[in-house]
Structure 1
Amino acid sequence: MTQDGDLDRLVRQRIRGLRVAKGWSLDDLASRCFLSPSTLSRIETGHRRIALDQLAPIARALGSTMDQLVDTATDEDVVIRPQRDVARGMTTWNLTRDGAPNGMSVAKLRLTVRSPFRPGDELPVHPGRDWFTVLSGTVRLHLGDRIILVKAGEAAEFSTMTPHAFGAESGPAEIIVILDRDGERAHARRSAQDIDT
């Protein structure tokens, strides 16, 4: 880690920002990371170099990690662009990037077809759980042998080991969906197969 330049300034801003967000004074943070308030003040203002043996206890005290404090990943492209899946009647806005915490994936979907499957098609199953809330319209959830209508303002959560699919009931519907790691992989794999065919 360089002690000057943009990274150094960023680390100092993150330390101060996290401390202030917790409502802590320099004394509060100092007592938690076993450094003096004057040392922390000089670190935050750039009047003292940040040593690695100081950075670790500061990060721990702030509920962060050294990696998070020194992360230089740039988020140059912060715009979320929709991906259309005409075959399945969906437009998807991925709201999480690859490598999201705990393997969770969040997306907004606009559904325009009643069901992406034809009568007699086998509904997919995979390990995991799906959860969604309906923003507008009504969603037609095929869950095993049941068809459940989920209206705007309602939510559904289910085991994905039950054969399932969902579509729009009498007009477009928009949902926010949360998929665990297994669900995200299965849905991504299914989208890729649909595109290939």
Structure 2
Amino acid sequence: MRIRSLRKARGWSLDNLAERAGISPSQLSRIETGHRRISLDQLSAISAALGKSLDELVESPDDSDVVIRPERDETRGLTTWLLTQDNGPQGLTVGKMRITEQAGGVTPDDLGVHPGRDWFTVLSGAIVLYLGERVIRVEAGQAASFATMTPHTLRSDQGPAEILMILDHNGERSHLQPGAGHRP
């Protein structure tokens, strides 16, 4: 959202814009910093006060709303592209993951559990899925789906591998958040 940059371009303080839009300066501050969701009536009032259309107010000032940049986690051997923003349909997250950490040497501490189900398809390379006591090789063009209360982790097999995954909220929190407890 471009509220702050448009306000500053006019040389207005928070108080100036807040008064023109009929909202409190503290509400406007929280809206600008992303600590408060903006209602449609507030958005309309701010838009009118700034003399901008709603489209102009919410358009991204750069390409961040179009280009999906990778998140690298060198310690876990992962690069992740989040393909959905703010939870996708039915609260699901879609992501692409490049896994470079090789199979082998997996300990029980590497395995994690969380409520729900995980699903992935291998786009390139091969993945070794450690699922409880089972070790399952999943190759390019194949997919896997499993209950995540079974201890699990993924590793690449003989070189980097890329997967497309669909995760519920618990899977996203466990696999994609920085410092997540267990590996993919």
TM, length-normalised to structure 2: 0.60
Q: 1:100 aligns with which of 88, 93, 100?
A: 88
Counterpart secondary structure, 2:159: coil
Structure 1: gaps (5+ residues):
1-69
CA distance in 2, matches of 1:102, 1:91: 25
Deviation at 1:184, TM superposition (A): 1.2
Asked if residue 110 in structure 1 is aligned to residue 79 in structure 2, the reply is no
Deviation at 1:193, TM superposition (A): 4.5
CA distance in 2, matches of 1:118, 1:151: 19
Q: Is the 8 A contact 2:88 2:94 kept in 1?
A: no
Name 1:79's counterpart in structure 2: 67
Asked if residue 131 in structure 1 is aligned to residue 146 in structure 2, the reply is no
CA distance in 2, matches of 1:193, 1:138: 23
Q: Is the 8 A contact 2:123 2:164 kept in 1?
A: yes
Asked if residue 179 in structure 1 is aligned to residue 167 in structure 2, the reply is yes
Distance 1:98 1:168, change over 3 A: same
Q: Is the 8 A contact 1:140 1:166 kept in 2?
A: yes
Asked if residue 192 in structure 1 is aligned to residue 179 in structure 2, the reply is yes
* One-letter identity of the residue aligned with 1:110: R
Q: 1:162 aligns with which of 126, 137, 150?
A: 150
* One-letter identity of the residue aligned with 2:179: A
* One-letter identity of the residue aligned with 2:85: R
Q: Deviations over 1:112-164 (max 9, x none)?
A: 11259743425110001100000110100000001000000000000111100
Query: Identity over aligned residues, as a percent?
Result: 52
Counterpart secondary structure, 1:113: coil
CA distance in 1, matches of 2:67, 2:130: 32
* One-letter identity of the residue aligned with 1:158: F
Counterpart secondary structure, 1:171: coil
CA distance in 2, matches of 1:118, 1:84: 21
CA distance in 2, matches of 1:123, 1:155: 20
Q: How many residues align?
A: 124
Deviation at 1:100, TM superposition (A): 2.1
Q: 2:128 aligns with which of 108, 119, 140?
A: 140
Task: Please identify which structure carries the higher helix content.
Answer: 1
CA distance in 1, matches of 2:168, 2:147: 11
CA RMSD, 1 decimal: 2.3
Larger Rg: 1
Runs of at least 4 residues of structure 1 off by over 4 A?
70-73, 115-118
Structure 2: gaps (5+ residues):
1-53
Asked if residue 151 in structure 1 is aligned to residue 130 in structure 2, the reply is no
